Amino acid sequence: MSCSHHYYQQAGLGDDAFTLDASTVTFGAGCLKEAGDHARAQGMKRVALFTDKSVAKLEHCAVVRQSLTDAGIDAVVYDEVAVEPTDVSFQAATRFAAGGNFDGFVSVGGGSVMDTCKAANVYATHPAEFLAYINAPVGRGEPVPGPLKPHIACPTTSGTGSEVTGIAIFDYLPMQAKTGMVSRRMKPTTALIDPNVTRTLPATIVAATGFDAMSHALETLTAIPYARRAKAPQPSRRPVSQGANPWSDAVAHEALDLVGTYFLRAVQDPADTDARAEMMYAATLAGIAFGNAGCHLPHGMSYAVSGLIREYRAPDYAQDGPFIPHGMSVILNAPSVYRFTAEACPDRHLDAARRLGADTKGATDADAGEVLANRLIEFVRAVGFPNGLSAVGFSERDLDALVKGALPQARVINNAPRAVGPEELRKLYAGALAYW
Ligand SMILES: [Fe+2]
């Protein structure tokens, strides 16, 4: 879509430009063994290697460590990353990062590991009171004041896109709210994306992370256009969640085409290495897309869902207590959201549904939300995921608490194509309780 398309006509107080952040990405089977050479080329001599206890036992971590050793780099392992990071675990990681005399960071793991590494890099390099860099309204949302140390991110799942974004998400325990920190400076300097890591992933994890990637692309495409989003006080502080733009559209289109073709194959057949590699590539593209546009309601609503989960425990995850994977909490909200947002940009909803494999022949603008919602529900059923929020333990009685948990997510909620307040959020959660 051209930048002069009517969807991007500047309107009122909206922004008149958008900013692209291209990550340095290396993609290919076996590329984790390049870690040492990239680290050396970036001047690293002594690195903090972030991972978690389960990834630390995997071959991927051993490959990265060996590669660093072969390049003559000292790597000190930090495997205390919490699977659901909190302010406490971020601060513990910061103490490690600040005390080790490191000149660079390497992360090997999923979104939690990469996010924790980004946060530790920020606070160890530019020490500040914890709430300083945390998104408003929970924190003060101050900009990260200067460059960070180099960070090579090696994802071990195919979904979060954290390796190509400047975003870190965590639970802020004093408020029992998920929030995050965002800065272009937090984007890893290099992403090493090796599709071999997906070969041994259990189906539930491929499904949850695949839904996360699918949702990143969908939310990018249906976010408010940048030209309707309020201008930043200074151009250099234009938010990462800057709204849909022609470039993020193009990247999200490609991601959705791949997800439409390969998602179910990758989940249902662990031996289908082609499909799993394509999902890894799609997740990278979707990460780049939302890293330059921002997510909106399915993500904004998901943080309250994961924060309030009481009994549900997803299969195939190692957690001791109640746990819902991020991608699952996102996708369970999505059909309800798109039924609501479709009227803002029906052509985009229909186009997304078609790219995901829905039959859109004869569909009108009035059908757009329903068509996309139904396609997503088909995917949810096909992989055996729960039937809405009621199937993971929520009921009408929880709606107020869910709304209260979502409201602090202003950064993403304001990126939706329609204005949303507490009343709308309540209806959206009610619509996500059950789908069939
Ligand atoms: Fe996500």
Q: How far apart are CA 73 and CA 405, in angstroms?
A: 44
Q: Determine the distance separating the centroid of ligand 1 and the alpha carbon of 295, expressed in angstroms.
A: 8
Q: Determine the distance separating the centroid of ligand 1 and the alpha carbon of 8, expressed in angstroms.
A: 25
Q: How many CA atoms lie within 13 A of 295 on its CB side?
A: 25
Residue among 295, 152, 139, 282 at smallest CA distance from 209: 282
Confidence tier at 237 by pLDDT (50, 70, 90): confident
* Residues 33-40, mean pLDDT to the nearest whole number: 97
Give the dihedral of Cα atoms 61, 315, 258, 296; nearest 10 deg: -100
Q: Are 402 and 429 in contact (CB under 8 A)?
A: yes
Q: Determine the distance separating the centroid of ligand 1 and the alpha carbon of 302, expressed in angstroms.
A: 9
pLDDT of residue 169: 92
Residues with CB under 5 Å of ion ligand 1 are 212
- Could you give the maximum distance between any two Cα atoms of the chain, in Å? 63
Q: What is the pLDDT of residues 335-367, one digit of tens each?
A: 999 999 999 999 999 999 999 999 999 999 999
Q: How far apart are CA 371 and CA 380, in angstroms?
A: 14
Q: What is the pLDDT of residues 157-176, one digit of tens each?
A: 877 889 999 999 998 988 87
Cβ neighbours for 346, distance < 8 A, ≥ 6 positions apart = 365, 366, 368, 369
Q: Determine the distance separating the centroid of ligand 1 and the alpha carbon of 25, expressed in angstroms.
A: 19
Structure tokens, 366: 């009035």
Say which amino acid occupies 46. R
Distances (CA, A) of 109 to 4, 33, 61, 143: 40, 15, 8, 26
Residue among 337, 359, 366, 341 at smallest CA distance from 418: 341
Tracing tokens 């680290």 back to the chain, one arrives at 39
* Residues 297-321, mean pLDDT to the nearest whole number: 88
Residues 120, 321, 314, CA angle at the centre, nearest 5°?
95
Q: Are 426 and 406 in contact (CB under 8 A)?
A: no
Confidence tier at 1 by pLDDT (50, 70, 90): low
* Residues 152-158, mean pLDDT to the nearest whole number: 92
The pLDDT > 90 percentage for the chain reads: 79
Q: Determine the distance separating the centroid of ligand 1 and the alpha carbon of 156, expressed in angstroms.
A: 15
Q: Determine the distance separating the centroid of ligand 1 and the alpha carbon of 160, expressed in angstroms.
A: 5
Class of residue 58 by CB neighbours under 10 A (exposed 0-12, middle 13-18, buried 19+): middle
Q: What is the pTM of this model?
A: 0.94
Say which amino acid occupies 370. E
Q: What is the pLDDT of residues 102-149, one digit of tens each?
A: 999 999 999 999 999 999 999 999 999 999 999 988 899 999 999 999
Q: Determine the distance separating the centroid of ligand 1 and the alpha carbon of 312, expressed in angstroms.
A: 20
pLDDT of residue 259: 98
Domains delineated in the chain: 6-18+200-431 (1.20.1090.10), 30-193 (3.40.50.1970)
